């Protein structure tokens, strides 16, 4: 090991966030599992599902909200996951920021689209 | 026995290469370190760090057949006929099996590795119950060998920003000490998506620690404390 | 060729327990200090200490520093200087408490105080019965202590030069020490550290013996450098053989095992220590236990297929005690002896462990040499502490736990003396013109040596000679032959050859330079041992046995004095033992019974 006479290396740290994301990642994961169980349960109970039953299911506001919750969880979970990957592999700040903004816009678009699907008219 | 050792001397080699040694061991050569010393008696240019030869100083960590460990407590009898040795992955190589640990120690130093207590020291010892003292078991025994941090993918990608398992284990050692008064500052210091939250519980660190410590568990406890503090 | 020079107020060589304790004083006092160390500080050998640090805290029952002092004087077989011993034993509790405040993770009693365990040679009320005096952190006391001291130095912003090896001491025309030359291992560069004061804390040289509990870096560099610079080495014939090194491996099993209740058995399953030390039994002083074990083995009562080891039994303590108090021992026994002590006894033999002698100092850590009729004249600007120094606290035999105490007390004391000296002397003394030449000539010799022997061969010859001629039992004819032999090896050592000439982290070169230091220590040991015509403490000669007026072969009329070995011409000199403590009465010599 050498003395600190090498190139000065000052990496500022201490962004003071992180635990919320970490917690959110766990909470969203739990929601995703829960919804999957309910959804698979629905199919298990009803065997093959007719279009009418399907429509009835998504006709209820409760189920629409549950589904939205699920999708939002997927997006938020994905956002944290992708951001982490970008942090690991894309080192130049500019490119990383651009990619992150891209992903974020895409996920926001997905969110709006989800609304329109769930509450749109058929 | 056959040893394939990664060699590199920046004084003469353009890049690292592997060198094979077929070596006759003596019955007294019980540990991998004994074998390396035997090799060194034939080829004195093989460079490695070593000191205590009993697994307490943390000098001779290296990558043994793909897994990090200490040469001095790795039994030759437990190894296959061909042993492949490389320096610890993820850190710059200085020479042969010697790596530059600057980054590793920098992370250790970044967690303020000393007990902070601003009360005037009492005449006698600060009291601590055996139960509170037991909280430090599994934490204070770390020998800073770097086997864990250099097997952690998160540390490979961000050695400058992620504290790494060894440093985080040490961080929790001070958080867990009832004599320390800086828990809040310590949590502040780690509340960062890189410093602490780069750990994705991959558990490589637990798998390789020659002292049987569990940095991952300690990291989990820090995260838990942060959540408790935040909600 | 001139070397680059860097200037500091003080240079500390060594970052083990004593070096770190001293450095802490210097940094805290705001001195511009450089701490040189061959290995990262927490890799120093102090990390291996297991059993504990001795201090009469009295947490487990009544205790007093005066009893501790008595035990230490008796343990030293009266060769220890009683002023230094009083100083250490009196200061020990304070030093341990201070360490606790720095964050040392000591084991605890139910009431929250530091747990203390019994240890060999430590007694109550001037030798009545064993006392619990060893403050410990499981069986990793040295590890806990070294890390705590390092951490405290991080707090104090100490400047470390890690993986820098000091090569030679620089003295000016008046004999004052003005710094050292040192080699940066990573680059192969050599430099001069010019300092107002230089403090050595380089540890022991246990690697002169073939079978040793010591780390591979314990090569007596401090002693070697001092000897080459004309400073004598004191009492080098006294080497402690620890009773319980793992047979074949040399790895240490702490005396704390016996402190917790472990016992030694011969092949018949007899607890033989009852015969040799009726009161203290397995917890008698180390020299006594080692000799008893060696006698058992010599008389054919050793265990194992070749009757060549003793059994250390501790399974009767139960897994709980073993796992709580001796976890590291269990780990070592399984790894190095292939036995799980929870079920089976550990095979052990006496193994070289500790260097009682060293660079002569007083209890302030100032290096002292005979000059102009004064046997204790201070060498300006030179200090030593820890295992490389000889204050002399341990005399002819060290008590367990007293070395860690010594590191704390003497480290701090030497640090304070250094500060006082630096403050009193505003400017640096001039470097002599030829300051780096000696070092350069040594390096150059290595660089250009042709058809010499390898360091490995010379080292082996030295280790075998020491083991065969200067072991637990010493015989006059063997010692005489040993002197001739070791001188011959020393000649060979002048022509060691290395094949590797690279600049970058050249460990072959480092080992060759270490071998030079080991050689000085080996010479000093053999020659001093041959000359001391008595048995005392760890120095046991077959031609001086127990007889009327000579308890255990000790000759207080002739030999109650310290040996001083000078490298130049292998000359020997002697100086009186200081029997006068600082404040209490002299503890007069008497027969040593445990
Ligand atoms: C296995 C074992 C167990 C022990 N257990 C106990 C115990 O329970 N209780 C007890 O009281 N004692 C014990 N001892 C003894 C005690 O540990 C040692 O005597 C003590 O640690 C020595 O400390 P030190 O500071 O003098 O040197 P060390 O800790 O040996 O440190 C020496 C330092 O000097 C540096 N150095 C050396 N040469 C150079 C050079 N040329 N240039 C630069 N740096 C150099 C090294 O890098 C190192 O930092 C034990 C010893 C052993 C071997
Ligand atoms: S658990 Fe965390 S620290 Fe340990 S190896 Fe995995 S990512 Fe690294
Ligand atoms: S936690 Fe284990 S592997 Fe990591 S540095 Fe400490 S001792 Fe080594
Ligand atoms: S040499 Fe000390 S840990 Fe292996």
- Closest residue in A to C160 (Cα–Cα): A3
Task: Find the closest chain A residue to C161 by CA distance.
Answer: A3
Q: Does C155 touch chain A (CB under 8 A)?
A: no
Q: Would residue A108 count as lying in a domain?
A: yes
Residue A6 lies in a domain: no
Q: Mind listing the pLDDT tens digit for each residue in C198-232? A: 999 999 999 999 989 999 999 999 999 999 999 99
DSSP annotation string for B64-125: ETTEEEEGGGSBGGGS-SEEEEEPPTTS-EEETTEE--HHHHHHHHTT--S----SPPPSSP
Measured in Å, residue A86 CA sits from the centre of ligand 4 at 38
Asked if pLDDT for residue C142 goes beyond 60, the answer is yes
Q: Tell whether A79 is covered by a domain.
A: yes
Find the domain containing A111 and state its range: 32-119
CB contact under 8 A, B115 and C500: no
pLDDT digits (tens, 9 = 90+) for C382-441: 999 999 999 999 999 999 999 999 999 999 999 999 999 999 998 999 999 999 999 999
| Rounded average pLDDT over B222-231 | 90
Rounded to the nearest whole angstrom, what is the distance from the C-alpha of residue B52 to the centroid of ligand 4?
A: 5
Write down the pLDDT at residue A10: 66
Look-up of token digits 């030293």: C76
- Burial per residue of C127-140, b for 16 or more beta-carbon CB atoms within 10 angstroms, e otherwise: beebbbbbbbbbbb
Establish whether C509 is a catalytic residue: no
Q: How many domains does chain A have?
A: 1
Does C184 score more than 70 pLDDT? yes
| DSSP reduced 3-state for A16 | coil
Residues of chain C with Cβ-Cβ distance to B127 below 8 Å are: 111-113
Tokens of C363: 């209890």
Query: What's the pLDDT score for residue A42?
Result: 80
Chain C 369-398, CB below 8 Å of chain B: which residues? none
Task: Tell me whether residue A20 is in a domain.
Answer: no
The CATH number for A38's domain is 1.20.1300.10
Please name the residues in contact with C123: beta carbons below 8 A apart, sequence gap of 6 or more.
Answer: C67, C70, C71, C129, C130, C131, C280
Among A4-18, B78-92, B128-142, C127-141, which is the least confidently predicted range? A4-18
Per-residue pLDDT tens over the stretch C457-474: 999 999 999 999 999 889
Question: Element (H or E) spanning B160, and its range?
Answer: none
A57, part of any domain = yes
Q: How far apart are CA C162 and CA C35, in angstroms?
A: 8
- A17 domain-assigned: no
Predicted confidence at residue A1, as pLDDT, reads: 42
pLDDT grade, residue B230 (50/70/90)? confident
Interval A34-45 mean pLDDT: 85
How confident is the model over C506-539, as pLDDT tens digits? 999 999 999 999 999 999 999 999 999 999 999 9
Best CA proximity match to B195, nearest among B167, B216, B174, B214? B167
**Candidate of B165, B168, B213 to mutate for ligand 2, largest count of ligand atoms within 8 Å of Cβ:** B165
pLDDT at C320: 93
Answer whether residue A10 is part of any domain: no
- Confidence tier at A2 by pLDDT (50, 70, 90): very low
For residue A3, the model assigns a pLDDT of 46
* Of residues B48, B50, B133, nearest to C105 (C-beta): B133
Predicted structure pTM score: 0.94
Give contacts of C 7-66 with A, CB under 8 A: 40
In 3D space, the residue among C462, C480, C464, C463 whose CA is nearest the CA of residue C543 turns out to be: C480
| Distance between CA atoms of residues B18 and B86, nearest Å | 9
pLDDT bin (cut points 50, 70, 90) of residue A7 is: low
Min CA distance, C473 vs chain A (Å)? 43
Q: Is the pLDDT of residue B122 over 70?
A: yes
Count other C-beta atoms under 10 Å from residue C398's C-beta.
28
Provide CB contacts within 8 A for A60, sequence distance 6+. none
Q: Express each pLDDT in C228-253 by its tens digit.
A: 999 999 999 999 999 999 998 889 99
Residue B15 has a pLDDT of 93
Average pLDDT over residues B69-81: 95
Centroid of ligand 4 to alpha carbon of C216 (angstroms): 10
Q: Is the pLDDT of residue C342 over 70?
A: yes
CA distance C383 to C412: 11
The answer to the question of residue A4 being in a domain is no
Q: How close, in Å, is residue A13 to chain C by CA atoms?
A: 20
Average pLDDT value for residue range A28-52:
85
pLDDT at B204 over 80: yes
Least confident of A116-120, B32-36, B59-63, C150-154: A116-120
Mean pLDDT of chain C: 95
pLDDT of C181 reads: 97
């Amino acid at each position: 090991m050498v003395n600190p006479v090498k190139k000065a290396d000052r990496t500022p740290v201490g962004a003071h966030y992180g635990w919320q994301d970490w917690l959110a990642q766990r909470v969203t994961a739990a929601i995703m599992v829960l919804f999957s169980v309910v959804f698979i349960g629905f199919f298990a109970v009803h065997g093959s599902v007719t279009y009418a039953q399907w429509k009835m299911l998504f006709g209820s506001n409760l189920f629409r909200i549950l589904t939205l919750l699920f999708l939002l969880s997927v997006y938020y979970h994905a956002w944290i996951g992708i951001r982490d990957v970008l942090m690991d592999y894309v080192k130049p700040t500019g490119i990383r920021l651009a990619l992150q903004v891209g992903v974020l816009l895409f996920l926001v678009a997905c969110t709006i689209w989800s609304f329109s699907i769930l509450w749109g008219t058929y | 026995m056959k040893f394939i050792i990664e060699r590199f001397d920046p004084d003469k080699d353009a890049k690292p290469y592997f060198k094979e040694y077929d070596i006759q061991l003596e019955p007294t050569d019980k540990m991998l370190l004994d074998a390396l010393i035997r090799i060194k008696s034939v080829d004195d240019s093989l460079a490695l760090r070593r000191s205590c030869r009993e697994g307490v100083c943390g000098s001779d960590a290296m990558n043994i057949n793909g897994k990090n460990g200490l040469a001095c407590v790795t039994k030759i009898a437990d190894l296959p006929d061909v042993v492949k040795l490389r320096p610890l992955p993820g850190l710059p190589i200085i020479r042969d099996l010697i790596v530059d640990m600057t980054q590793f120690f920098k992370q250790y130093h970044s967690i303020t590795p000393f007990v902070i207590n601003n009360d005037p020291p009492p005449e006698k010892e600060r009291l601590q119950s055996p139960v509170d003292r037991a909280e430090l078991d599994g934490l204070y025994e770390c020998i800073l060998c770097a086997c864990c941090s250099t097997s952690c993918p998160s540390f490979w990608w961000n050695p400058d920003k992620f504290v790494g398992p060894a440093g985080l284990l040490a961080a929790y050692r001070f958080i867990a000490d009832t004599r320390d008064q800086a828990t809040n500052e310590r949590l502040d210091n780690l509340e960062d998506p890189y410093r602490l939250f780069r750990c994705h519980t991959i558990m490589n660190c637990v798998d390789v620690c020659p002292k049987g410590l569990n940095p991952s568990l300690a990291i989990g406890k820090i995260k838990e404390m942060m959540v408790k503090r935040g909600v | 060729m001139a070397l680059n020079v860097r200037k500091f107020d003080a240079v500390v060589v060594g970052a083990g327990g004593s070096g770190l304790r001293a450095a802490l004083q210097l940094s805290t006092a705001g001195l511009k200090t450089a701490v040189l160390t061959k290995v990262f500080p927490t890799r120093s050998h102090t990390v291996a200490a297991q059993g504990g640090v001795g201090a009469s805290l009295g947490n487990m029952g009544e205790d007093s520093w005066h009893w501790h002092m008595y035990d230490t004087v008796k343990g030293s077989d009266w060769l220890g200087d009683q002023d230094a011993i009083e100083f250490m034993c009196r200061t020990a509790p304070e030093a341990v408490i201070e360490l606790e405040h720095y964050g040392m993770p000591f084991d605890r009693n139910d009431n929250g105080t530091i747990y203390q365990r019994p240890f060999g040679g430590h007694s109550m009320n001037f030798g009545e019965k064993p006392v619990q005096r060893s403050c410990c952190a499981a069986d990793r006391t040295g590890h806990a202590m070294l890390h705590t001291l390092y951490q405290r130095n991080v707090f104090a912003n100490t400047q470390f030069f890690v993986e820098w090896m000091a090569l030679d001491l620089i003295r000016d025309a008046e004999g004052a020490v003005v710094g050292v030359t040192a080699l940066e291992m990573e680059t192969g560069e050599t430099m001069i550290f010019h300092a107002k004061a230089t403090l050595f804390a380089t540890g022991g040289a246990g690697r002169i013996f073939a079978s040793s509990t010591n780390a591979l870096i314990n090569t007596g560099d401090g002693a070697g450098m001092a000897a080459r610079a004309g400073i004598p080495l004191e009492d080098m014939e006294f080497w402690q053989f620890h009773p319980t090194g793992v047979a074949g491996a040399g790895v240490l099993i702490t005396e704390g095992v016996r402190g917790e209740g472990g016992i030694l058995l011969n092949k018949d399953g007899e607890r033989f220590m009852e015969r040799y030390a009726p009161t203290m039994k397995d917890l008698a002083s180390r020299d006594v236990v080692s000799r008893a074990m060696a006698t058992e083995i010599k008389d054919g009562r050793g265990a194992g297929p070749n009757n060549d080891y003793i059994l250390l039994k501790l399974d009767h303590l139960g897994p709980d005690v073993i796992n709580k108090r001796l976890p590291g021992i269990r780990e070592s026994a399984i790894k190095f002896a292939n036995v799980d002590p929870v079920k089976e006894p550990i095979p052990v033999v006496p193994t070289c462990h500790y260097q009682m002698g060293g660079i002569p100092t007083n209890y302030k850590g100032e290096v002292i040499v005979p000059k102009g009729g004064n046997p204790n004249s201070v060498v300006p600007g030179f200090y030593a502490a820890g295992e490389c120094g000889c204050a002399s606290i341990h005399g002819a035999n060290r008590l367990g736990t007293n070395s860690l105490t010594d590191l704390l007390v003497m480290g701090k004391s030497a640090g304070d003396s250094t500060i006082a000296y630096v403050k009193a002397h505003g400017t640096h003394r001039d470097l002599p013109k030829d300051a780096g030449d000696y070092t350069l000539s040594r390096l150059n010799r290595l660089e250009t040596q042709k058809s010499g022997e390898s360091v490995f061969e010379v080292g082996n010859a030295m280790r075998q000679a020491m083991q065969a001629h200067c072991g637990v039992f010493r015989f006059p004819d063997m010692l005489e032959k040993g002197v001739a032999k070791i001188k011959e090896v020393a000649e060979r050592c002048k022509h060691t050859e290395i094949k590797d000439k690279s600049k970058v982290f050249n460990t072959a070169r480092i080992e060759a330079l270490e071998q030079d230091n080991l050689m000085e220590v080996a010479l000093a040991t053999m020659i001093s041992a041959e000359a001391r015509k008595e048995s005392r403490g760890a120095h046991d000669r077959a031609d001086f046995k127990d007889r009327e007026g000579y308890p255990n072969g000790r000759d207080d009329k002739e030999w109650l004095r310290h040996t001083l070995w000078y490298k130049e011409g292998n000359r020997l000199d002697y100086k009186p033992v200081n029997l006068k403590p600082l404040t209490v009465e002299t503890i007069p010599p008497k027969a040593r019974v445990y």
